[in-house]
Amino acid sequence: MYKLFLFDMDGVLLQHKSSWQYCQEAIGCDCKHFYDEFEQDILNGKDLTGLVLKKMMRYGFTQKKLQELVMKAPQMNGVGKVLEAVQVHGGSAVIISGGIGAFAEELSRQYPVTGYVCNELHFDGKGLPQICEIKVGHNDKGKVARAIRETMGVSKEEIVAIGDYCNDCTMFAEAELSIAFNGDKDAKAAATHSVESDDLADILPIIYGYYGEPK
């Protein structure tokens, strides 16, 4: 029986593909040129987030605005059904994401989520963004997953990982069962299974052999 479930957040539990870009689009801030430089290895992760935050702040991004966007963020269909199934079967759900931690925090309030490791935004006394604490770098998900597994005393054979992007591949490597949910080509190639759907509950037959209520 699987005990530990590792979920990517953006594109899996939430409909948007990036919580960063979701926030940027909401305030009308285009940061694509920074991401292009990151992809070209001109910027590292720390420099990228620093430049992005400074630009977002100029477009009115505050702690209050973030909380507003967190509450409005559209969730993937079937999120509650999947997380509740994990709980019913005695499993623990942990979110590992390079996205903004405030979104994972809200998901953990609504559903049985054991914990999360995401990149955390810190604000000053006026609610202005100061720094992004990077806890999950672009290639760090496998390392984070391994640390969680060792802390919880769970073997690889007892782990399921669900993601959608190339940076989830190292997390997939730490799991016995891995599912690329609407994944890109790299995620599909690395995962043991692939699901194309707008309903996360469509992964349940792969994990438990059923779609509806637990048997």
- The model's pLDDT over 5-53, given as tens digits with 9 standing for 90+, comes to 999 999 999 999 999 999 999 999 999 999 999 889 898 888 898 999 9
45-54: list long-range contacts, CB under 8 Å, 24+ apart.
45/134, 45/137, 45/138, 46/134, 49/119, 49/132, 49/134, 50/131, 50/132, 52/20, 52/24, 53/121, 53/129, 53/130, 53/131, 53/132
What are the residue ranges spanned by the domains of the chain? 4-14+75-208, 20-72
Q: For 157-182, how does the pLDDT look when each residue is reduced to its tens digit (9 = 90+)?
A: 999 999 999 999 999 999 999 999 99
Residue 211 confidence class, pLDDT cut points 50, 70, 90:
low
- Considering the entire predicted model, what is its pTM? 0.95
Q: Which amino acid is at 99?
A: G
Q: For 88-101, how does the pLDDT look when each residue is reduced to its tens digit (9 = 90+)?
A: 999 999 999 999 99
CA distances from 46 to 57, 93, 183 (A): 17, 28, 26
Quote the CA–CA distance of 114 and 94 in Å, as a whole number. Answer: 6
Average pLDDT for residues 200-214, to the nearest whole number? Answer: 82
Q: Which fold has domain 4-14+75-208?
A: Rossmann fold (3.40.50)
Q: Tell me if 192 sits within 8 A of 177, measured CB to CB.
A: yes
What integer pLDDT is reported at residue 36 of this predicted model? 93
